[in-house]
Amino acid sequence: MDFLMGNIWLWGPITAVVIAAVITVNALVSVYLERKVSAWMQNRLGPMENGPQGIFQTLIDAVKLILKEDIIARGIDRPLFKMAPYIVFGASFAVFAVTPLAEGVSPADLDVGVFYVLAISSFVAVGIMMAGWSSNNKWSLYGALRGVAQAVSYEVPLSLAVLTVVMAAGSMSLQTVCVEQGGGFWNWNGLALHKNPFLVGSFLIYFIASLAEVNRTPFDLPEAESELVGGYHTEYSGMRFALFFLAEYANMLAAGILASVLFLGGWQPLLPALDFVPGPLWLFGKAYFFVVLQIWIRMTLPRLRVDQLMYVCWKVLVPGALAMLVLGGLWQLMIKG
Query: What residue type is 25 in one-letter code?
Result: V
Handedness of CA 229, 232, 234, 237 (dihedral sign): negative
Which residues have C-beta within 8 Å of that of residue 331, sequence separation ≥ 6?
A: 196, 197, 198
Measured from the CB atom, the residue of 64 and 305 that comes closer to other proteins is 305
**Cα(315)–Cα(294) distance, rounded to whole angstroms?**
23
Pick from 60, 229, 270, 292: which binds other proteins (CB under 8 A)?
Answer: 229
| Nearest Cα to Cα of residue 243 among 49, 11, 97, 88 | 88
- The interface mask with other proteins, positions 273-312, x = CB under 8 A, is -------------------------xxxxxxxxxxx----
**Cα(177)–Cα(174) distance, rounded to whole angstroms?**
5
**Cα(46)–Cα(329) distance, rounded to whole angstroms?**
47
**Cα(43)–Cα(196) distance, rounded to whole angstroms?**
42
227 binding other proteins? (CB under 8 A): yes
Measured from the CB atom, the residue of 20 and 292 that comes closer to other proteins is 292
42 binding other proteins? (CB under 8 A): yes
Pick from 142, 236, 245, 284: which binds other proteins (CB under 8 A)?
Answer: 142
53 binding other proteins? (CB under 8 A): no
52 binding other proteins? (CB under 8 A): no
Pick from 15, 24, 38, 237: which binds other proteins (CB under 8 A)?
Answer: 38
- The interface mask with other proteins, positions 148-187, x = CB under 8 A, is ----------------------------------------
Measured from the CB atom, the residue of 139 and 203 that comes closer to other proteins is 139
Q: In the bound complex, what is the minimum distance in angstroms from residue 69's beta carbon to other proteins?
A: 19
Instruction: Please state, in angstroms and as integers, the Cα–Cα distance from residue 188 to each residue in 51, 203, 269, following that order.
Output: 39, 11, 10
75 binding other proteins? (CB under 8 A): no
Looking at the DSSP bridge assignments, the partners of residue 105 are 102
**Cα(98)–Cα(116) distance, rounded to whole angstroms?**
8
Binding site for other proteins (CB under 8 A): 38, 41-44, 138-139, 142, 217-218, 220-221, 224-229, 298-308
